[in-house]
Amino acid sequence: MAKTLKKSEKNNSQALGNVVLEGEIAQTKSDPAAFMLNKSDVPYRIFGVLVLLLTFGVLLYWAATASLHSAVVAQGKVIVASQNKTVQHLDGGIVKEIHVKEGAQVKKGQALLTLDDAQLKAQLDNVKGQLWEIDLDIQRLSAERDGKAKLKLSVKDKPKTKAEKALVADIMATKRELFKSRKRALVSQKAVLDQRLAQSQKQIVGAEEQIASLNRRRDSLQKDVDSVQALATQDLFPRVQMRERERQLEEIRGNLASVKNEIARLQEVISETEHQKILSDDEYVKEVSSLLNDNNRRRIQLQSERELIEDKLSRIVIKAPDSGKVKGLEIVTKGAVIGSGAPIMEIVPNDTNFKVTAQLSPTDIDSVHLGQQAEIRFSAFNNAQYFPVMYAKLIDKSTDTLFDDATQMTYYKVVLKVENEGLDILKKEKVQLVAGMPADITLLVDKRTVLEYLIRPVKRMLEKAFHED
d(CA 355, CA 417): 5
pLDDT score of 65 more than 70:
no
Q: What is the average pLDDT score of the chain? A: 79
Helix (H, G, I), strand (E, B) or coil at 7: helix
Q: Say which residues have a Cβ less than 8 Å from residue 394's Cβ, sequence separation at least 6.
A: 368, 369, 370, 371, 372, 374, 414, 415, 416, 443
Q: What is the CATH number of the domain that holds 332?
A: 2.40.50.100
The pLDDT of residue 100 is 93
Give yes or no: residues 124 and 34 share one domain.
no
Per-residue pLDDT at 305: 94
pLDDT in tens, 1-52: 333 334 444 444 444 444 444 554 544 444 554 444 455 666 777 778 788 8
My answer on whether 261 and 149 are in the same domain is: yes
134-176 tens-digit pLDDT:
999 999 999 988 888 888 988 888 888 899 899 999 999 999 9
Claim to verify: residue 165 and residue 264 sit in the same structural domain: yes
Whether 235 and 125 map to the same domain: the answer is yes
Torsion, CA 164, CA 169, CA 170, CA 171, rounded to 10: 90
**Pair (178, 305) in one structural domain:** yes
**Both 330 and 273 in a single domain?**
no
Q: How far apart are CA 256 and CA 152, in angstroms?
A: 57
Contact 437, 390 (CB under 8 A): no
Half-sphere exposure of 7 (CA within 13 A, CB side): 4
State whether 124 and 100 are in the same domain: no
Q: Which of 322, 310, 311, 308 is nearest to 112 (CA)?
A: 322
Q: Are residues 307 and 402 located together in one domain of the fold?
A: no
Q: How many domains does the chain have?
A: 4
> pLDDT tens for residues 300-357?
999 999 999 999 999 999 999 988 889 999 888 999 999 999 999 998 887 656 788 8
Q: What count of Cα atoms within 13 Å lies in the side-chain half-sphere of residue 398?
A: 15
- Domain with 341, as residue range(s), is 86-113+318-345
Binning the chain into helix, strand and coil, the percentages to the nearest 5 are 55, 20, 25
Task: Look at residue 117 and tell me whether its pLDDT is greater than 70.
Answer: yes
Q: What is the DSSP string of 111-180?
A: EEEEE--HHHHHHHHHHHHHHHHHHHHHHHHHHHHTT-SS-----SS---SHHHHHHHHHHHHHHHHHHH
Read off the pLDDT of residues 368-413 as tens digits, 9 standing for 90 and up: 888 888 888 887 776 655 567 788 888 898 889 899 888 888 999 9
140 and 97 within one domain: no
Same domain for 93 and 13?
A: no
Q: From edge to edge, which strands make up the β-sheet containing 337-338?
A: 317-319, 111-115, 93-98, 337-338
CA distance 101 to 369: 43
- C-beta neighbour count of 416 within 10 angstroms: 26
Q: Are residues 330 and 369 in the same domain?
A: no
Helix (H, G, I), strand (E, B) or coil at 79: strand
Quote the CA–CA distance of 84 and 350 in Å, as a whole number.
10
- 3-class secondary structure, 311: helix
**Do 191 and 205 reside in the same domain of the chain?**
yes
pLDDT in tens, 189-222: 888 878 888 888 888 888 888 888 888 887 777 7
348: which DSSP letter?
E
Q: How high is the pLDDT of residue 121?
A: 92
CATH number of domain containing 400: 2.40.30.170
Q: What is the rounded distance in angstroms from the CA atom of residue 225 to the CA atom of residue 223?
A: 5
Q: Per-residue pLDDT averaged across 111-129, rounded?
A: 93
The span from the CA of 132 to the CA of 171, in Å, is: 8
What is the C-alpha to C-alpha distance for residues 363 and 73, in angstroms, rounded to an integer? 12
